[in-house]
Chain A
Amino acid sequence: MIRDQAQAWATEQAPVAAFRRMRDAGVANRFEPATWESMVEMGWTGILVPETYGGSDLGYLTFGVVLEQLGRQLTASPLYASALVGASAVLLGGSDAQKEALLPKVVDGSEILTLAVDEGPRHTPGTMATAAEADGDGYRITGRKAQVLEGMSATAFIVAANGPNGIGLFLVPADASGVSRTALSTVDNRGYAHVDLVDVRVGGDAHLGDADVLEAVLDRARAGLGAEMLGVASQAFDMTLDYLKTREQFGRVIGSFQALGHRAADLYSQMELARSCAEAALMAVDAGAEDTAELCSLSKAKVGDFLHEMSNQLIQIHGGIGMTDEFDAGLYLKRARALEPLWGNQAFHRDRYARLLGF
């Protein structure tokens, strides 16, 4: 049901053509406020949030269904950063008071949360320079967070920093004194920012849990992203298959050349396998399964591999047309490369999977 709703809405209200218009118009924060408002109205911001805080508590698999459809159209919004990643941090690390204060606002869209972990060009969640020193009844945070998703539109950052108990998560309002941000212009035209924190003072109630919470939040972020990436790749596959059936050269459709038919068969098979991984990760999160970490790495790596290959083949099989900015293929390729490294690229997750399996 929600799949149909998400699919219809995304293709009609927020299609890739809208993303392109937004890109060309140079909209601030890199998403259309009206798109975001509709998502809030449809209740998607509350998919993970318990009913007591105004949400629908439908779980990660359902969120994945929505993200997949949004991925298909490259729809841009802070939905994922705030209502999946941010809400997960509050749900896993927050006290009742913090949940009460934050979750209803995540649901009504007045609060946009985002997770700020990495400090350089690579994902290294185990090491960071940002420090949160105890300061009276609160903390004083200093450091720089790189490439923060929705960094310009966020109303609060969930900052990973070395605190008194090792790595911890701290809620930092975007308008707190000592916070500044720099918008980035990236190839995929999404809204990232570098965030600088200089002696930012937050209260004791800003603490949202420690390293174990960060790890669990990251796995939820990876599982959700796997669904979005699967959507981007599935659309790329559909566009390619369509082209194989319509483009004619040498007097017949190019899909009749076995080299291309076999490539399409390989890509389809890879897609089916990747889908199983993406769904398994989301279901494991919902079920609190013991092998959740393994499955989340599996999903990020296998969907990542497929998206990588598929986005390249999208261009290749479209020939000259694929190289033109006017055609959408380039938008998919660019989004693909931006999502692959987020929360760890394929190599990161292969290494992690091996460690989880004890070698």
Chain B
Amino acid sequence: MSDALEAFRAEARAWVEENFPPSLAGKGMGMEGELDGDTKADFELWRARLGEKGWGAPTWPQEYGGAGLSHPQAKVVSEEISRVGGLNPIPALAGMGITMVGPTLLEYGTDDQKARHLPATARGEVRWCLGLSEPNAGSDLASLATKAEDKGDYFQLNGQKIWTSGADISHWCGALVRTDPSAPKHKGISFVMLPMDQEGVETRPIRLISGASPFCETFFNDARAEKSDLLGDLNDGWSVVKRLLQHERQSQTSAGSPMASAKSKAIQDVAKEYAGTDDSGALADGDLRSRLVNHLMDARSHSLTVRRITAEAKGQVKVSAAASILKNSATRISQTKSELTLEIMGAQGLGWEGAEFTAEEKNTVREWLWGKAISIYGGSFEVQKNIISKNILGLPETTQKG
């Protein structure tokens, strides 16, 4: 590690130590960011301080609410926050704002759009949702039907979106809409941004198999999106969304747990606890042991690959085709980890509610169920393989025609 980066680490450490409220150490924030009364004020203080420092979106330019940091510096920031048992709540509070909408706005937005939308997003004050999928447009997103009519200085939206994560609690929505029904399907689409708090927008939460309701059906009935909130060119929404989805994939390449938790026990230690060891200290269940070690090897090779690809890109984490490889590998590792943990816990791993099960046990069940989504959203497991075979290997594509 370079001296400059080490010096930066010292600065970051000092700042975190001075500003992180110790009452938050080791506290996760749950999937929907709920907290009890006492910690709530400290949490708000921590969010405000991070936002002011530009560390909600540390790599964004300072003028748009970021801190203008390099990727290695941003990594140092998150390491230093983890070191004190803390979390950076802003990416979660901003919904899709920090990982997807923001980076795309930085590339495609006008100066006015960037100035209006980015700073509040980077402070975690504005939550974004994405209205892309529709009942009949999932993997084949370009077949979407939501209409946007030109009404002079605004677009009037009519149609239905589905699986819109956080729609019921978001302030703004990035939506993909059809602006030219007569053009070929990829050519008549535009990307617009609209406020959720308006008469023409209605959301209905959908309950998931994991018990939570993080996503909704979203209905547009004469909803209004200003012309000044058209991102990219009219009818060029497909380029914008392709880029946006690359950013999404990129944000899903780490094999960590989908739920933010500050610290968790190594899976091999959980296994020893529940399944016992033999005289040599090896896991007593030999079959579990070999599958567990295989999983840990996969996880190690994944993180070595992230490191190698980052190093080869000279520290600039590029949004690249390699993201599809990493997304699938991260998905497999995280789902396998959940399955193994559930298996390790045996009957205790089935706990849904109540005092007979520990918090970790109940969390394992929900995380296992929730984790099934990772291979569906952000381009499914199969769609990523299509991308690898076409974009990296140059094999002819037989799907996604039209």
Interface residues of B in 172-212 (CB under 8 A from A): none
- Please pick, from A262, A275, A302, A347, the residue contacting B382 in the complex, using a CB distance under 8 A: A262
A67 to B390, CA, bound (A): 30
In the complex, which residue of chain B has the Cβ closest to the Cβ of A260? B395
In the complex, which residue of chain B has the Cβ closest to the Cβ of A277? B301
Q: CB of A350 within 8 A of chain B?
A: yes
Nearest CB on A from B137, distance (A)? 21
Q: Which residues of A contact B297 (CB under 8 A)?
A: 298, 301-302, 350, 353
A22 to B182, CA, bound (A): 66
Interface residue count on the B side (C-beta < 8 Å): 41
A245 to B394, CA, bound (A): 9
Segment at the interface with B among A40-48, A166-174, A248-256: A248-256
Q: Is the CB of B393 within 8 A of A268?
A: yes
Q: Is the CB of B294 within 8 A of A269?
A: no
Q: Using A273-B302, A301-B297 as known contacts, say yes or no to A358 and B322 having CB atoms under 8 A apart.
A: no
Interface residues of A in 272-295 (CB under 8 A from B): 272-277, 279-280, 294
Q: Which residues of B contact A262 (CB under 8 A)?
A: 382, 385-386, 389
In the complex, which residue of chain A has the Cβ closest to the Cβ of B303? A276
Q: Which residues of B contact A355 (CB under 8 A)?
A: 282
Q: Which residues of B contact A253 (CB under 8 A)?
A: 396
A241 to B304, CA, bound (A): 25
A244 to B386, CA, bound (A): 15
Q: Using A265-B385, A359-B282 as known contacts, say yes or no to A273 and B301 having CB atoms under 8 A apart.
A: yes
A138 to B268, CA, bound (A): 47
Q: Using A266-B385, A353-B293, A359-B281 as known contacts, say yes or no to A273 and B271 having CB atoms under 8 A apart.
A: no
Q: Which residues of B contact A241 (CB under 8 A)?
A: 393, 395
Q: Which residues of B contact A165 (CB under 8 A)?
A: none
Interface residues of A in 88-111 (CB under 8 A from B): none
A355 to B290, CA, bound (A): 11
Q: Which residues of A contact B272 (CB under 8 A)?
A: 359
Q: Using A264-B389, A269-B388, A357-B268 as known contacts, say yes or no to A256 and B395 having CB atoms under 8 A apart.
A: yes
Q: Is the CB of B395 within 8 A of A264?
A: yes
Q: CB of A52 within 8 A of chain B?
A: no
Q: Is the CB of A354 within 8 A of B388?
A: no
Interface residues of A in 184-227 (CB under 8 A from B): none
In the complex, which residue of chain B has the Cβ closest to the Cβ of A274? B301
In the complex, which residue of chain A has the Cβ closest to the Cβ of B293? A354
Nearest CB on A from B312, distance (A)? 10
A276 to B302, CA, bound (A): 8
Q: Is the CB of A264 within 8 A of B393?
A: yes
A272 to B389, CA, bound (A): 14
Q: Is the CB of B268 within 8 A of A350?
A: no
In the complex, which residue of chain A has the Cβ closest to the Cβ of B398? A256
Q: CB of A261 within 8 A of chain B?
A: yes
Q: Which residues of A contact B300 (CB under 8 A)?
A: 277, 294, 298
Q: Is the CB of B268 within 8 A of A276?
A: no
Q: Which residues of A contact B393 (CB under 8 A)?
A: 241, 255, 261, 264-265, 268
Q: Is the CB of A272 within 8 A of B325?
A: yes
Q: Is the CB of A269 within 8 A of B328?
A: yes
- Please pick, from B292, B301, B384, the residue contacting A354 in the complex, using a CB distance under 8 A: B292
Interface residues of B in 352-402 (CB under 8 A from A): 382, 384-386, 388-390, 392-399
Q: Which residues of B contact A301 (CB under 8 A)?
A: 297
Contact with A along B288-318 (1 / 0, CB 8 A): 0110111011101110110110000000000
A347 to B268, CA, bound (A): 18
A245 to B397, CA, bound (A): 12
Q: Which residues of B contact A276 (CB under 8 A)?
A: 301, 304-305, 307-308
Nearest CB on B from A332, distance (A)? 19
Q: Using A268-B393, A355-B282, A359-B272 as known contacts, say yes or no to A261 and B385 having CB atoms under 8 A apart.
A: yes
Q: Is the CB of B382 within 8 A of A273?
A: no
Q: Which residues of A contact B301 (CB under 8 A)?
A: 273-274, 276-277, 298, 302
In the complex, which residue of chain B has the Cβ closest to the Cβ of A266? B385
- Please pick, from A252, A255, A298, A359, the residue contacting B292 in the complex, using a CB distance under 8 A: A359
Give the one of B271, B272, B398 with max A CB within 10 A. B398
Q: CB of B277 within 8 A of chain A?
A: yes
Q: CB of B329 within 8 A of chain A?
A: yes
Q: CB of B283 within 8 A of chain A?
A: yes
Nearest CB on B from A256, distance (A)? 4
Q: Is the CB of B293 within 8 A of A268?
A: no
Q: Using A255-B396, A264-B393 as known contacts, say yes or no to A269 and B325 having CB atoms under 8 A apart.
A: yes
Nearest CB on A from B258, distance (A)? 21
Nearest CB on A from B274, distance (A)? 12
Q: Is the CB of A252 within 8 A of B396?
A: yes
A194 to B397, CA, bound (A): 52
Q: Is the CB of A354 within 8 A of B282?
A: yes
- Please pick, from B281, B305, B308, B396, the residue contacting A358 in the complex, using a CB distance under 8 A: B281
Give the one of A276, A279, A301 with max B CB within 10 A. A276
- Please pick, from A265, A266, A268, A353, the residue contacting B296 in the complex, using a CB distance under 8 A: A353
Q: Which residues of A contact B281 (CB under 8 A)?
A: 358-359
Q: Using A350-B290, A357-B268 as known contacts, say yes or no to A272 and B385 having CB atoms under 8 A apart.
A: no
- Please pick, from B271, B329, B396, the residue contacting A359 in the complex, using a CB distance under 8 A: B271
Interface residues of A in 333-350 (CB under 8 A from B): 347, 350
Nearest CB on A from B391, distance (A)? 10
Q: Which residues of B contact A357 (CB under 8 A)?
A: 268, 293, 296
In the complex, which residue of chain B has the Cβ closest to the Cβ of A357? B268
Nearest CB on A from B196, distance (A)? 38
Give the one of B308, B389, B397 with max A CB within 10 A. B389
Interchain Cβ contacts under 8 Å between A and B, 18 examples: A241-B393, A261-B398, A265-B386, A265-B389, A268-B325, A269-B329, A272-B325, A273-B305, A274-B301, A276-B307, A279-B304, A280-B304, A298-B297, A298-B301, A347-B290, A353-B293, A354-B283, A358-B281
Query: What are the 6 A-B residue pairs with the smallest beta carbon separation, nearest first?
Result: A261-B389, A265-B388, A276-B304, A276-B305, A255-B395, A265-B385
Q: A273-B329, A353-B297, A355-B282 provided; 20 other pairs, C-beta below 8 A?
A: A252-B396, A257-B398, A264-B393, A265-B386, A265-B389, A265-B392, A268-B393, A273-B298, A274-B301, A276-B307, A277-B304, A279-B308, A294-B300, A302-B297, A302-B301, A350-B294, A357-B293, A357-B296, A359-B277, A359-B281
